[in-house]
């Protein structure tokens, strides 16, 4: 197993989860760069021997890979300020931003290292099944990123920026938009003094079935059965709330149209 010396820019949710994971896999985090000293100190405390660094000049650093793990909006600014040696690899970790964004940096070796997962500082996640989506400016960089990703996950996926954009849009549909439908369900229950946990077993089984059979085969419920009596009763129930009734109507209609 190859071992790399890595510096991380950022100390948010992803940096906090990723840096210790990389050290567990045998790499060394040499520096954490952050403009939030409190977050940076709390991250350093989890690492073997990393230093806090307050600028983006890596020309004197021993790091081989510089990982930009800041919010999407801040990547461009960091790329403009960063100073690197010729052999260093510079990567960002965004699902939406293109590799080209790193062209602002004077870097010969650029890449994207995007773990497809939702991270919180307070919740541990297992990395070994998280797909890590990779993109690189050149073959040598791709090989290094494959080694790095392969050391923490069984699933490394080389993608171009256009494919990664599709993955990110699909992720919003199946996670953020889905979570908002859970919130609507929670509110519908709360209006009758009932709690969301009532739906827990049903939601877990729905997801398991959808992942096992594929969502087209797994569909159940009144729309796919064309049970118009139930659909009408639900539309009547929802009629005082424009958002709920429109979402219910539009998605149910599409379920019927794509049966």
Q: Which is nearer to a second copy, 86 or 229 (CB)?
A: 229
Q: Which is nearer to a second copy, 3 or 161 (CB)?
A: 161
Candidates 7, 61, 1, 59; CA nearest to 29 is 7
Q: Does 241 bind a second copy (CB under 8 A)?
A: no
Q: Does 232 bind a second copy (CB under 8 A)?
A: no
Closest separation in Å from C-beta 127 to a second copy:
9
Candidate residues 81, 120, 140, 239; the one interacting with a second copy per rule CB under 8 A: 120
Residues 43-82 that bind a second copy (CB under 8 A): 72-73
Closest separation in Å from C-beta 240 to a second copy:
13
Q: Does 248 bind a second copy (CB under 8 A)?
A: yes
d(CA 43, CA 179): 29
Judged by CB under 8 A, the number of residues near a second copy is 87
Q: Which is nearer to a second copy, 2 or 213 (CB)?
A: 213
Q: Which two tokens stand for residue 218?
A: 């797994």
Q: Does 28 bind a second copy (CB under 8 A)?
A: no
Residues 128-187 that bind a second copy (CB under 8 A): 129-131, 157, 159, 162-163, 165-186
Q: Which is nearer to a second copy, 20 or 222 (CB)?
A: 222
Closest separation in Å from C-beta 218 to a second copy:
6
Q: Does 37 bind a second copy (CB under 8 A)?
A: no
Closest separation in Å from C-beta 66 to a second copy:
23
Q: Does 108 bind a second copy (CB under 8 A)?
A: no
Q: Does 239 bind a second copy (CB under 8 A)?
A: no
Closest separation in Å from C-beta 68 to a second copy:
17
Q: Does 36 bind a second copy (CB under 8 A)?
A: no
Q: Which residues of 17-30 are buried (b: 16+ CB within 10 A; e: fewer)?
A: bbbebbbebebbbb
Q: Which long-range contacts (C-beta less than 8 Å, at least 24 apart) are formed by 195-201?
A: none
Residues 200-229 that bind a second copy (CB under 8 A): 200-207, 209-211, 214-216, 218-224, 227, 229
- Pick the piece of the chain touching a second copy (CB under 8 A) from 31-39, 61-69, 79-87, 121-129: 121-129
């Amino acid at each position: 197993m190859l071992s790399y010396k890595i510096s991380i820019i950022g100390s948010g949710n992803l940096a906090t989860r990723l840096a210790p994971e990389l050290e567990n896999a045998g790499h060394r985090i040499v520096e954490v760069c952050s403009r939030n000293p409190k977050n940076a100190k709390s991250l350093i405390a989890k690492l073997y021997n990393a230093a806090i660094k307050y600028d983006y000049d890596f020309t004197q650093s021993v790091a081989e890979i510089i990982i930009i793990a800041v919010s999407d909006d801040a990547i461009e600014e960091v790329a403009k300020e960063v100073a690197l040696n010729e052999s260093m690899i510079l990567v960002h970790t965004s699902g939406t931003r293109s590799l080209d964004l790193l062209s602002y940096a004077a870097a010969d070796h650029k890449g994207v290292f995007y773990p497809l997962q939702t991270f919180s500082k307070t919740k541990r996640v297992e990395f070994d099944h998280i797909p890590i989506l990779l993109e690189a400016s050149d073959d040598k960089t791709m090989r290094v990123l494959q080694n790095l990703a392969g050391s923490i996950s069984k699933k490394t996926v080389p993608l171009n920026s256009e494919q990664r954009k599709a993955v990110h849009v699909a992720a919003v549909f199946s996670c953020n938009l889905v979570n908002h439908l859970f919130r609507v369900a929670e509110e519908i229950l709360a209006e009758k003094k009932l709690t969301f946990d009532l739906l827990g077993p049903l939601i877990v089984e729905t997801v398991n079935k959808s992942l096992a059979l594929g969502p087209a085969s797994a569909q159940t419920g009144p729309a796919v059965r064309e049970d118009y009596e139930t659909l009408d009763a639900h539309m009547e129930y929802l009629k005082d709330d424009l958002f709920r009734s429109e979402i219910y109507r539009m998605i149910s209609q599409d379920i019927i149209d794509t049966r």
